[in-house]
A and B are shown apart, each in its own frame.
Chain A
């Protein structure tokens, strides 16, 4: 029972590089979310998806893009990484709106 799996777990990028973070869930959840966690700021919602083929902006969407081509996967892309995007990124999923969100273990991303 894997739950929510994020890959990679760690990554170091140079400014201007691009990369994609992958989130996969095996719970048949409709809703998926991407958060970033920064010291002293809790978790902030970047983008979310309410179903396959749909995405929407969260609280801090600038500099990120997402795609939900398959129900079980939610991808977070950084087209041109900036040092301000150094953070820990968490993916979460839930069965429906208002239901508890289940989190992955996070991806630690450093941008130099």
Chain B
């Protein structure tokens, strides 16, 4: 079946690194995404990785993909208070006429000053 799981909450101190983890079940995923949602706002695409890649780095963000274990992580270096938000992991799988996104339930990142 299609399922994406994330831990519900992560608390870090400003300046530390944050690591948000995600596991998925469908091995036919093509892309895996990280979205950020601030209070009262929509989902902002942070970064994504193609399923044949192991790692992608984009400024303070590092995405690691372990396809064997179906594990995806997002590392935020030098975490700032402005990084406080809910982070959603999503996998893209083919479902009929289009790829569909299966979202996790989101991880609330709280950054303590």
B105 touching A41 by the CB < 8 A rule?
yes
CB neighbours (8 Å) of B33 from chain A are 100
A-B contact count (CB 8 A): 55
Which among A44, A50, A59 is the interface contact of B98 at CB below 8 angstroms?
A: A50
B48 touching A103 by the CB < 8 A rule?
no
CB neighbours (8 Å) of A45 from chain B are 100-101
Q: Taking the nearest CB of chain B, how far is it from the CB of A111, in angstroms?
A: 19
- B1 in the interface (beta carbon within 8 A): no
A104 touching B98 by the CB < 8 A rule?
no
Q: Taking the nearest CB of chain A, how far is it from the CB of B80, in angstroms?
A: 22
Bound state CA distance, A102 and B44, in angstroms?
Answer: 7
Bound state CA distance, A31 and B100, in angstroms?
Answer: 11
Interface size on A, residues (CB 8 A): 24
CB neighbours (8 Å) of B97 from chain A are 50, 56, 97
A98 touching B99 by the CB < 8 A rule?
yes
CB neighbours (8 Å) of B101 from chain A are 43, 45, 101
CB neighbours (8 Å) of B90 from chain A are 43
- A79 in the interface (beta carbon within 8 A): no
CB neighbours (8 Å) of A41 from chain B are 105
Tell me the interface secondary structure of chain A in the complex.
Answer: loop
Return the CB mask of B70-103 against A: 1 if under 8 Å, else 0. Answer: 0000000000000000001010101011111101
Q: Which of B45, B101, B106 has the most CB of A within 10 A?
A: B101
A43 touching B103 by the CB < 8 A rule?
yes
A100 touching B45 by the CB < 8 A rule?
yes
A48 touching B105 by the CB < 8 A rule?
no
Which among B4, B30, B88 is the interface contact of A98 at CB below 8 angstroms?
A: B30
List 12 interface pairs A-B (beta carbons < 8 Å), by A numbering: A42-B4, A42-B106, A43-B88, A45-B101, A48-B98, A56-B98, A90-B42, A97-B94, A97-B99, A100-B48, A103-B45, A106-B42
